Amino acid sequence: MARFFLVFFAALLASVAASYTGDRNSKCACTALKKPDIPGAEVISINGTQLLNHTVAAFPGLLPEPVTGLAICAVDVVLTHKGAHDQVLVKVWLPLKGWNGRFQANGGSGFAAGGLDLTLGPTAKLGYAAASTDAGVGFNPLSPEAWALLADGSVNQEALASFAYRSVSDVALVGKAITEQFYRKKPKYSYWNGCSTGGRQGLVAAQRYPDLFDGILAGAPAISWPTYVVAEQWPQVVMHEENTFPSPCELKAFTDAAVAECDAVDGLADGVINNPSACNFNPYKLVGHQVECEGHKITITESVAKVVRKIYQGPFNQDGQRLWYGLNFGAALNTLANTVVVNGTRKGSSFFVNDAWIRYWVIKNPKYDLDQIDYTTLEHLFAESATEYDSIIGSDNPNLSAFENAGGKLLVWHGLSDQLIFPNGTVNYRDRVEQSMSGPSKVNDFFRLFLAPGVDHCAGTPSLGAVPTDPFAALVSWVEEKKAPAHLPAQVSGPQGGDRIICPYPLTAKYQADGNASAASFDCV
């Protein structure tokens, strides 16, 4: 999942720092910091180190370019929770000069609760007091093997609770306490910034800890985790049950065909499906067509079209009832419907998040063979996962009244071509918040959702879609200047590229057919 955060951190680096300047260039001030008093936790140790001309090296997928020239007080705080037998690391980086008066906590990705130096560097470079945590589970976004289960094979409930929600409170309380102690004043504004797992954590903050942050940016939030993660296994089950394993180039042919059919529905042929729900693409149209695959031609079969149709439909039970959503038309199919060739035979290969969740938490057997999952078994896994873990990591409580009353602002964005986390799950959450809180007009005052056409997970790979250029700046303006974002500025690449706008749900950007392709050519309707 790490590769999907390139654009997210590039946008973070482009954010505009505030005009407030705070200097604290004192080695003594950094090394003499005291243990903060953190409710519900005991601080084991604190260590402050002054770093001058410090560099954070680039990291494939998470930090595209190195961050250089940092002058910071780098603070490591280790804490534990009574009865948890844990050791949680919270890292706080404090600019020695040019502090902008703000605090920002950054979220994680995959099975990591925080990016640590990889997010602290860009954030501190912009003048923020920055914090990140490992939640006591270490830093391995790709695998929870080290912490998911106890020695007796049971679920490590304390580690899961820390990863799911408790670490959000830890990083905020520790980070703000250290910031105040170092600068001798409280941060004027506090923010959360995250995508995917980090987006889910942002919604945890709004739901469980409504007074911790003034503003929350949550991209592609991994909410309804126990349900959506099991739904990620659906394409693998479909391929196995239908005994049909399409190659990546076959899958791409369906994505391309859907875009070709529905691209111009909005009046502008730009290689992007503006509104996937208005697309009625039928995969069976490709049956009999030939596609070029690795130097030879493959004819699309009816069985391949059937698999693709079911992937788009999403999982349903034996009674035909929907269990969760499918991928949108225009999204890449070959991540969740990934295949590998073994001894000349193509077979399925599950995405690491759903693979680990099912084996470690639902089945509780790391050696479980996911090829055993048929349609009936998957239906049972949905029920078991939701029953056992919704209250822990569902992160989709629609009652945000406490966050609203605290004056917080929540900005959520999601790419409509997300190939990992189903955008309609985020739409469903927004709709449920409206139902819980008396309608859209009231909710729009503090919570706005922006759906980015043609954009994949956390805008991680180059696409023709309308990628938001700086949603965090829009959040800061909303919090500090009371300017609710009427739209988000976005950028589209490709031959029809240029500036665009992304409208707040349920509005969509409608092309005015003026012969141009710029932000001014679209209205929110």
Confidence check: pLDDT of 348 > 60? yes
> Is the dihedral angle over the CA atoms 500, 502, 507, 508 positive or is it negative?
positive
- Return the SS3 of 190: strand
Kindly report the backbone phi and psi dihedral angles of residue 130, in degrees, each rounded to the nearest multiple of 5, phi listed first. -120, 150
Catalytic residue among 196, 385, 395, 463: 196
Q: Where are the domains of the chain?
A: 2-227+392-494, 229-389
- The overall average pLDDT reported for the chain is 93
Kindly report the backbone phi and psi dihedral angles of residue 364, in degrees, each rounded to the nearest multiple of 5, phi listed first. 65, 40
pLDDT band at 138; cut points 50, 70, 90: very high
At the topology level of CATH, where does 2-227+392-494 sit? Answer: Rossmann fold (3.40.50)
**Is position 81 annotated as part of the catalytic site?**
no
Sheet containing 215-219: order of strands: 42-56, 67-80, 88-95, 129-133, 102-106, 189-195, 215-219, 409-415, 447-452
- The confidence score (pLDDT) of residue 11 equals 42
Catalytic residue among 270, 396, 418, 456: 418
- What radius of gyration do the chain's Cα atoms show? 23
> Is the dihedral angle over the CA atoms 517, 518, 519, 521 positive or is it negative?
negative
pLDDT band at 14; cut points 50, 70, 90: very low
Distance in angstroms (rounded) separating the CA atoms of residues 208 and 426: 18
pLDDT band at 487; cut points 50, 70, 90: very high
Strand 509-511 and strand 42-56: the pairing is unpaired
Catalytic residue among 54, 414, 457, 487: 457
- Model confidence over 442-476: pLDDT tens digits? 899 999 999 999 999 999 876 678 999 999 999 99
161, exposed or middle or buried, with CB in 10 Å at 0-12, 13-18, 19+? Answer: middle
pLDDT band at 496; cut points 50, 70, 90: low
pLDDT band at 270; cut points 50, 70, 90: confident
Confidence check: pLDDT of 345 > 70? yes
- The confidence score (pLDDT) of residue 28 equals 80
pLDDT band at 402; cut points 50, 70, 90: very high
Distance in angstroms (rounded) separating the CA atoms of residues 289 and 261: 15
- The confidence score (pLDDT) of residue 438 equals 78
Q: What letter does residue 16 receive in the DSSP assignment?
A: P
**Is position 224 annotated as part of the catalytic site?**
no
Q: Helices (H) and strands (E) in the chain — how many of each?
A: 16, 18
**Is position 54 annotated as part of the catalytic site?**
no
Of 17-26, 84-93, 306-315, least confident by mean pLDDT is 17-26
